[in-house]
Copies of this chain bind each other. A is one copy, B any other.
Amino acid sequence: MNVMNDSPRRKELTRQAAQLFVQEGFDRTTVRMLAQEMGIKSGSLFHHFRDKQEILAAVIEEGTQNALVIARAALEQCDNSAEARLQAMARAHLETLLTDRNAHVVALYEWRRLDPEARNHLSHLRDAYEALWEAVIDEALAAGLIHGDRFLVARFVMGALNWTVRWYDPAGPRSPDDLAHELVAMITHRA
Contacts and interface: CB of A to CB of B under 8 A. Distances in A.
Interface of A: 25, 27-28, 109, 112-113, 146-149, 152-153, 155-164, 166-167, 174, 179, 182-183, 185-187, 189
A41 B77 CA distance: 62
A30 to B, nearest CB: 11
Contacts of A186: 146-148, 152-153, 156, 187
Contacts of A112: 25
Nearest to A28: B27
A3 to B, nearest CB: 29
A101 to B, nearest CB: 15
A155 B148 contact: no
Count of this chain's copies in the oligomeric assembly: 2
What 8 A-B pairs have minimum CB-CB distances, sorted nearest first? A159-B163, A27-B27, A156-B160, A159-B160, A160-B160, A152-B182, A159-B159, A148-B186
A124 to B, nearest CB: 17
A102 to B, nearest CB: 14
Given A157-B160, A189-B189, A148 B28 contact: no
Given A112-B25, A186-B187, A155 B149 contact: no
Given A159-B161, A162-B163, A186-B187, 6 more contacts: A25-B113, A147-B186, A152-B179, A152-B183, A152-B186, A160-B160
A155 B164 contact: yes
A112 to B, nearest CB: 7
Given A159-B159, A187-B187, A182 B25 contact: no
A113 B182 CA distance: 32
5 contacts: A25-B27, A152-B179, A157-B160, A158-B163, A159-B166
Contacts of A163: 155-156, 158-160, 162-163
